[in-house]
A and B are shown apart, each in its own frame.
Chain A
């Protein structure tokens, strides 16, 4: 049985923002698959649950007049996986969605919730008073850290659990956010909080703010994209290592690229070093190998996760080379 909480399910966005703003211990419920798990495991208490599942208009997937795509925050992961337009124009996103959790959870989990989900570190989810939960130390640093980060760690060493976030970052997505001050647009690259900025916070949303939609720009001519994830077991699992690629190709040459890693860092990790290694180069084994090396240039593995470094190198190189075979 979950600990008690009060519950409200407003029918307007304005009311939802007000309800969320009104209590400090209020949490949004979209599909509930992450929130209820956290409450069940006592990761944090919720005094109040504000369900946004009755809000209209947040489920739509709509092509924009500029050729981009608007994805309502309540769109399920399953819709992302199966939408034909997404599959054709943004394969990295449908491939990432297909890798998320299990069929049941993909039916229920939403894109907004997937971007805002809490970390999966076993100390954070377990009965440890860890730094992220307000305690003094990160237990992973000197503990069981085989699935923890190799890049971007400091103070806290989680990996970001989302598969959709790296895909959306590779596509230069932005978020539409509604809050007490009205609407604003936020690049997805500015949503997630790195632990050296604040190890107790995952996302930069202000009190009462709700993501209403995710916007993708029109795919550039020559865009090729893909997502690949390695996990410890085949049925369902979070990424041990993953890579979202979006390359703009021009006659076999890389005009522009995004290389974003999952399972690597406390936030979805854009590797600008790998991107620079590809910039303006013909896409061949040499360029792919160099980009893979560069992606790992700053890696600082912990005691039990050094295996991830060669794993990422192989993964990135292999995925890049698939674009040549196409």
Chain B
């Protein structure tokens, strides 16, 4: 039985980190040919309607990069981030605005990517968990979650971190009550809440220093 040597079997190619692979994959998906008709830029959706069979040409500002995309009107920002751009840090949860796993920042404010149509996100600055990195270094809020062990399974963690980041950008020195309210749109089924609260406190302190 051939031994699974992991590294050699990896189809992602040598010299590429998993993250690097994903963003390369993302760049190609964005250019993949599409079957639907191509409509005008969504900015001109004012003048004409984009039918359900049409694809709209849009540009999204994601983590400081301009991403040109073809999208159907019904596609959520969540779907586009993950399935068109390979930014899989943003998680799929309930898809009805109840769990917070898909939290991203839009113009610096925490919002649910599942409840935002991609065509509605044009002209806004979108920040995902990938956008909090400093190169290969974790951002301060991410680092705080790591240090405080603020997760068990980790699935809700990117959303928790984005909610915390959003809260701290609006309110750099929140009280415990403000932290509880600020994090109330993110559920953690493992129940890591006490550690999550500690992590938000600690992230706030890191940012203030």
Contact = CB atoms under 8 A, between A and B. Distances in A.
Given A4-B72, A32-B117, 12 more contacts: A1-B79, A2-B76, A3-B74, A5-B52, A6-B51, A7-B74, A8-B45, A36-B97, A103-B182, A105-B112, A107-B110, A236-B184
A54 to B, nearest CB: 7
Q: Is the interface of B mostly helix, strand, loop or mixed?
A: mixed
B175 interface: no
A102 B42 CA distance: 29
B116 interface: yes
Interface string B67-106: 0000011111001000000000000000111001001001
Nearest to B51: A6
A36 B100 contact: no
B185 A102 contact: yes
A103 B181 CA distance: 7
B120 A6 contact: no
Interface of A: 1-11, 15, 19, 29, 32-33, 36-37, 40-41, 48-49, 51, 53-54, 78, 101-105, 107-108, 234-236
Contacts, number: 112
Given A7-B45, A236-B184, A104 B96 contact: no
B46 A102 contact: no
A104 B76 contact: no
B49 A105 contact: no
B163 A103 contact: yes
Q: Which one of A9, A19, A234 has the highest number of Cβ atoms from chain B below 10 Å of its Cβ?
A: A9
B185 A103 contact: yes
Nearest to A54: B46
A49 B51 CA distance: 10
A104 B103 contact: yes
B187 interface: yes
Contact of B119 (A9, A78, A101): A9
12 contacts: A4-B53, A7-B119, A8-B45, A9-B46, A9-B120, A15-B46, A32-B116, A37-B97, A49-B73, A78-B109, A107-B111, A236-B184
B50 interface: yes
Size band of the interface chain B makes with A: 35 or more
B111 A7 contact: no
A41 B96 CA distance: 8
A105 B100 CA distance: 10
A107 B72 CA distance: 24
A7 B47 CA distance: 11
Q: Which one of A8, A48, A104, A107 has the highest number of Cβ atoms from chain B below 10 Å of its Cβ?
A: A104
A40 B100 CA distance: 16
Nearest 3 A/B pairs, CB to CB: A102-B185, A7-B73, A4-B52
Interface string B56-76: 100000000000000011111
A10 B42 CA distance: 11
Contacts of B106: 107
A127 B134 CA distance: 46
Contacts of B95: 40
A51 B95 CA distance: 20
B100 A104 contact: yes
Nearest to A2: B74
Interface string B17-43: 000000000000000000000000010
Given A103-B110, A235-B184, A108 B116 contact: yes
Q: Which one of B53, B79, B116 has the highest number of Cβ atoms from chain A below 10 Å of its Cβ?
A: B116
